Amino acid sequence: MIAKQWEGTARLETIALILMIVIGMMWAGCALFVVGAAAGAAGVAYIEGDLQAHLKADPRAIEKASLKAFEVMGITRISGSSSALDSEAIGRTADDTKVAIKSKIETSGESSLSIRIGTFGDEAMSRRILDEIEKQLPDAVRELEMELKDKQT
């Protein structure tokens, strides 16, 4: 009788432990690590809900391309700001999910880029947004160059 009670208790403890591990992984964002390559990006990784990439562009151009990507994709622009060192573009999808795009200049002259969708991330949507940013980037770079040239004159 005692042995049967022990088996039942051990089984419940095992199930509780498994549930705690699963919930802990979900809470922490469970490190998904997928490496790929996008057309203009030096490398792309999806880690713990963030799509991370390196682009050969100034953060100010990345912010311009991000805001244009929002426009093309029907994402409502909430805010956008940039400097020669970093940038951030925030938007909201039709279902009010937050989209955050951040970039920071690296010592190599490239910029690191991070895209986060909602609380836990959405890899497929992040990749679609990255693709659109890369499509918009050449025009954004030209626009930034013209603005900087105008400031010099």
The answer to whether 103 and 86 have CB atoms below 8 angstroms apart is yes
Are 8 and 81 part of one and the same domain? no
Q: Identify whether residues 58 and 37 lie together within a single domain.
A: yes
19 and 56 co-located in one domain = no
- pTM (predicted TM-score): 0.72
Say what the pLDDT of residue 152 is.
86
Tokens matching residue 135: 């499509």
For residue 33, what pLDDT is reported? 32
Q: Clarify whether residues 36 and 24 are in a common domain.
A: no
Within 8 A by CB and 6+ apart from 38, the residues are 44, 53, 127, 130, 131, 134
Instruction: State whether 39 and 113 are in the same domain.
Output: yes
Q: Which two tokens stand for residue 28?
A: 């922490």
Can you give the pLDDT at residue 41? 53
pLDDT at 107: 87
Q: Which residues of the chain have pLDDT under 70?
A: 1-12, 14-42
| Contact of 96 with 24, CB cutoff 8 Å | no
State residue 10's pLDDT score: 59
CATH of the domain at 46: 3.30.310.240
Q: Are residues 9 and 39 in the same domain?
A: no
Same domain, 77 and 24: no
Say yes or no: 107 and 137 in one domain.
yes
Statement to judge: residues 25 and 35 lie in one domain: no
> What sign results for the dihedral spanned by CA atoms 77, 78, 81, 85?
negative
Q: Quick one: pLDDT at residue 50? A: 97
Q: Which domain holds residue 24?
A: 1-30
If asked whether residues 62 and 136 sit together in one domain, one would say yes
Asked whether residue 66 falls in the same domain as residue 114, the answer is: yes
Distance of alpha carbon 114 from alpha carbon 109, whole angstroms? 16
How many Cβ atoms from other residues are within 10 Å of residue 115's Cβ?
29
Q: 16 and 49, same structural domain?
A: no
Name the domain count of the chain. 2
